[in-house]
Amino acid sequence: MNRKKLYKYLLKNNMAYFYAKNIDRTNDKFSKSVVSVGNSLNSKYSKTKTLILMVSKEIGVLPILFKTFKHVPEIVDNDIDLVLKRKDVVKFVMKLEKLGFLYIKESKYKYICTKKGYNKIEPRADILVAGRKILNYQQTLKYVQKIGKGNEKITVTNQELDAFYFMLNCLYGPNYLKLYHYMVIDGVVFSRIEEIAKDISCLPEITFFKRKVLDKISKDVSFPIFLKNIDYLVFYIRFIMFNSNMIFTSKIKHLLFFFFFKYKYIFFNKLHFQHQWPIRF
């Protein structure tokens, strides 16, 4: 694989910055571009994180960064997901509005807040997967850690919970598994993910994912990974078709979206949820 293809592959899989900064020893235009842009994006993230801490202290709330902190030292290139107590969500959003942020109410307890020069901030009261509530704020507190130093310490979800979420989201999203997601999952003891799954009554899905995806990953596999069609149909019949918690239109959309996302990538090399870095090789 030539250098251009290598970095396009890594960018697609959210591992380019880590590779360029920690592994690559070739100081060429590809590694330089990735590190330069990555540093800029991480600076923007740091600025946004500092703002979140300032706002939180001013109004007396404790936000949890969810699936945002990079357990493999990569970059945060888009939104910052926050979990807050239900009573604190609107309070937090109103404070951001006073600081010049525009907001959109996506659902009852979920907002999208934007301001030029900052990452998109998305506070919510619950962690959802495909509309299904997985954890509320109080439950999420069981799976957190503190990162940072001094006044910059912030509460984030731990690697086990993020790994669990990536697996469940791949199934229920429907979504695909990037190399970064796999590195997060592979970096924890799997029994700890199973413990979370038991608590949330999702163990059969996690067991299915392990058997159909993780156990089949070999050294020469190419990421991102989509479920095989037959495996997806088995999952759909077992967990979606007769799921009384999902409405009929959601079941139809799930089926259509899976094949649309997968074959959009296969035929056009376009990942549906891909964030575009401002890099031109």
pLDDT at 42: 95
Single pTM value for the model: 0.95
pLDDT at 181: 97
Enter the tokens of residue 195: 């413990």
pLDDT over threshold 90, residue 276: no
Of the candidates 107, 138, 109, 121, the residue with the CA atom closest to the CA atom of residue 45: 121
Burial code of 85-94, b = ≥16 C-beta within 10 A, e = fewer? beebbeebbe
Segment 51-77 mean pLDDT: 95
Are 127 and 196 in contact, with CB atoms under 8 Å apart?
no
- Residue 174 preceded by cis peptide, ω within 30: yes
Q: Distance (Å, rounded) from C-alpha 178 to C-alpha 13?
A: 5
**Interval 178-201: pLDDT, tens:** 999 999 999 999 999 999 999 999
Residue 274: which pLDDT band, with cuts at 50, 70 and 90? confident
- Residue 224 preceded by cis peptide, ω within 30: yes
pLDDT at 279: 77
**Interval 72-102: pLDDT, tens:** 999 998 899 999 999 999 999 999 999 999 9
Residue 281: which pLDDT band, with cuts at 50, 70 and 90? low
Residue 219: which pLDDT band, with cuts at 50, 70 and 90? confident
Under 8 Å CB-to-CB from 169, ≥6 apart: which residues? 129, 130, 175
C-alpha 171: how far from its chain's center?
Answer: 14
Residue 18: which pLDDT band, with cuts at 50, 70 and 90? very high
**Interval 149-181: pLDDT, tens:** 877 899 999 999 999 999 999 999 999 999 999
Query: 77: which DSSP letter?
Result: -
